[in-house]
Amino acid sequence: MKFDRIEITEGDITSIAVDAIVNAANNSLLGGGGVDGAIHRAAGPGLLEECRRVGGCATGEAKITKGYNLQAEWVIHTVGPVWRGGIHGEELLLGRCYESCFRFVEPYRIKTIAFPSISTGAYRFPLDAAVPIALAKIKECLEKYPSVDKVMIVCFNTPVYDTYRSVLFSR
């Protein structure tokens, strides 16, 4: 598969102009630290109000809300697994996060989507284990959903960016 539909960048996911950004949320969907807190702050109070109505989200699943003050029309919230040694189904759950996000692309006519590095921050999923899972699932979903024009992976720092690029171009 060609990689022309996958773009890796370093930066702030809240400033990306795409149809949907993915929020690495917690189970409550009510905001938190890291990318979750940044998205809630940038989107404004409407996001929190809608998330209260949506209810929580199970690990590995996803829910969608409006983007409010973000450049993205939609926010897809997914809850990644907390790393507990890799013996509690963390890899399967992380893969499900990406699959769950893609199920919204057709009904919401999402052509461009931006992902953070799910679970590799506060949830301590090892980057070297998470990146191959993320890229494999994104590639698999791009084959399943040809209507998606571009997937961006927005990395929060240079080591994350370098790891994604290294894994993407080594396959």
Of 4, 19, 36, 149, the catalytic one is 36
Q: What is the DSSP letter of 80?
A: P
Neighbouring C-beta atoms of residue 115, cutoff 10 Å: 27
Residue 100 neighbours by CB under 8 Å, 6+ apart: 60, 61, 62, 78
Rounded to whole angstroms, the Cα distance separating 128 from 150 reads 24
Is 36 assigned a catalytic role?
yes
Rounded to whole angstroms, the Cα distance separating 63 from 15 reads 21
Number of residues that make up the chain:
171
Rounded to whole angstroms, the Cα distance separating 154 from 24 reads 12
Beta strand 62-66 pairing with 20-25? unpaired
Neighbouring C-beta atoms of residue 3, cutoff 10 Å: 13
Active site residues: 36
